[in-house]
């Protein structure tokens, strides 16, 4: 299958991620933040994501990934949405963010446009992304979790800060856990958030080293490996070729990702290591047999993720457009 950079039909890459240290501004967040200033906020977001997800089924996975990428660098402040200009190369244009899906950016922009008509200058892009992510996850079968609101949009987005802060498919469990731990997340929470790979896809370049040559991974399910080799045979000339993260139920948020790991059906090397490493294996086995436990832990971890590094009035703004700072010279 071939996919454009703004993913079409079937699949979507997810990198497990998390964000910088929790700021003092977490206390300002509350679920009813817009009850008086923008009473139709929930309705507008819900209707927009329903329409978009119906039109483009990869939107849920793409938006979930975009939310992760936003939060683990500079906190949940919509910095990943900023477009590069002549003054600044923004986060979204770093090579590691190259495959962030266009549909995820689009749904945020659609919602922002609708909200600016209803309650101009009130709702931050950071809150839109957080709320849309929750609504989309539940739409594809995932657990409901509260989204506390009141974030402000960040005032900085630098591409050079991305590398070294984004967990990568070839990293060890120890290295990836280090990124989570320094931001207050436990090993169990890391594994739960990794379960987001139950939806979406990854490009062949992210796992091709497991398929070919002397370093091919013998622990991949043989039939799975054969199919992936055929799928990815031209990936060096077409870097948009991709495969489902969860080959069994790619469009449904469930615990199949963990079941797949036990069968040698983990797509990324970092996925497979979760069942190999003695520190993470017990959590994989728990979630593979108990979907309720996975959903509870995932929901809790997502609530926590959404409060990481949030900006208050002194550190941020409410952007008029999600892809530009209000001061265009920044």
Q: At 83, which CATH number? A: 1.10.520.10
Question: Which tens digits make up the pLDDT trace of 90-99?
Answer: 999 998 888 8
Out of 161, 186, 218, a domain closes at 161
For residue 190, the enclosing domain spans 173-304
Q: What is the pLDDT along the chain (330 residues), one digit of tens a residue?
A: 444 444 433 333 333 334 444 444 444 899 999 999 999 999 999 999 999 999 999 999 999 999 999 999 989 999 999 999 988 999 999 988 888 999 999 999 999 999 999 999 999 999 999 999 999 999 999 999 999 999 999 999 999 999 878 788 989 999 999 888 877 899 999 999 999 999 999 999 999 999 998 889 999 999 999 999 999 999 999 999 999 999 999 999 999 999 999 999 999 999 999 999 999 999 999 999 999 999 999 999 999 999 999 999 989 999 999 999 998 655
Given 69, 177, 203, 235, the catalytic residue: 69
Phi-psi region of 141 (alpha: psi -120 to 50; beta: other; left: phi over 0): left
Helix axes 173-181, 269-276, angle to 10 degrees: 90
Binding-site entries for substrate: 167
Q: Shortest CA distance to 10 belongs to which of 246, 204, 223? A: 246
- Asked if 125 and 112 count as a contact pair (C-beta separation under 8 A), the reply is yes
**20 occurs within a structural domain:** no
156 φ, ψ (degrees, to nearest 5): -145, 145
Identify each DSSP E strand in the chain by its residue range.
201-203, 242-244
**29 occurs within a structural domain:** no
Neighbours of 98 (CB within 10 A): 12
**167 occurs within a structural domain:** no
- Asked if 28 and 73 count as a contact pair (C-beta separation under 8 A), the reply is no
Out of 115, 130, 161, a domain closes at 161
Binding-site entries for heme b: 197
Question: Which tens digits make up the pLDDT trace of 186-201?
Answer: 999 999 999 999 999 9
Binding-site entries: 70, 75, 77, 79, 91, 167, 197-198, 246, 249, 254
69 catalytic per annotation:
yes
Q: How far is CA 312 from the centre of its chain?
A: 23
């Amino acid at each position: 299958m071939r996919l454009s950079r703004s993913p079409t039909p079937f699949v979507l890459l997810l990198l497990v991620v998390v964000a910088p240290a929790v700021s003092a501004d977490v206390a300002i967040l509350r679920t009813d933040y817009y009850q008086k200033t923008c009473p139709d906020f929930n309705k507008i977001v819900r209707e927009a994501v329903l329409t978009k997800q119906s039109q483009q089924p990869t939107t849920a996975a793409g938006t979930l990934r975009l939310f992760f990428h936003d939060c683990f660098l500079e906190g949940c402040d919509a910095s990943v949405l900023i477009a590069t200009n002549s003054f600044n190369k923004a986060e979204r244009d770093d090579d590691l963010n190259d495959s962030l899906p266009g549909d995820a950016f689009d749904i945020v922009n659609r919602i922002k446009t609708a909200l600016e008509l209803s309650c101009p200058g009130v709702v931050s892009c950071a809150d839109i992304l957080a709320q849309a992510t929750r609504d989309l996850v539940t739409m594809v079968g995932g657990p409901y979790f509260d989204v506390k609101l009141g974030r402000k949009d960040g005032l900085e987005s630098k591409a050079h800060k991305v590398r070294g802060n984004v967990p990568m498919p070839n990293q060890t469990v120890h290295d990836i856990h280090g990124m989570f731990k320094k931001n207050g997340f436990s090993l169990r929470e890391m594994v739960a958030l990794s379960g987001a790979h139950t939806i979406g896809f990854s490009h062949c370049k992210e796992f091709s080293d497991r398929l070919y040559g002397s370093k091919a991974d013998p622990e991949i399910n043989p039939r799975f490996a054969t199919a992936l080799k055929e799928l990815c045979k031209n990936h060096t000339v077409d870097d948009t070729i991709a495969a489902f993260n969860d080959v069994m139920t790619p469009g449904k948020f469930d615990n199949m990702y963990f079941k797949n790991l036990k069968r040698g059906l983990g797509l990324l090397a970092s996925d497979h290591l979760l069942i190999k490493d003695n520190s993470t294996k017990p959590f994989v086995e728990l979630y593979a047999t108990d979907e309720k436990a996975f959903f509870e832990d995932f929901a809790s971890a997502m609530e926590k993720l959404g409060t990481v590094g949030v900006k208050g009035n002194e550190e941020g703004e409410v952007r008029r457009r999600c892809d530009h700072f209000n001061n265009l010279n920044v």
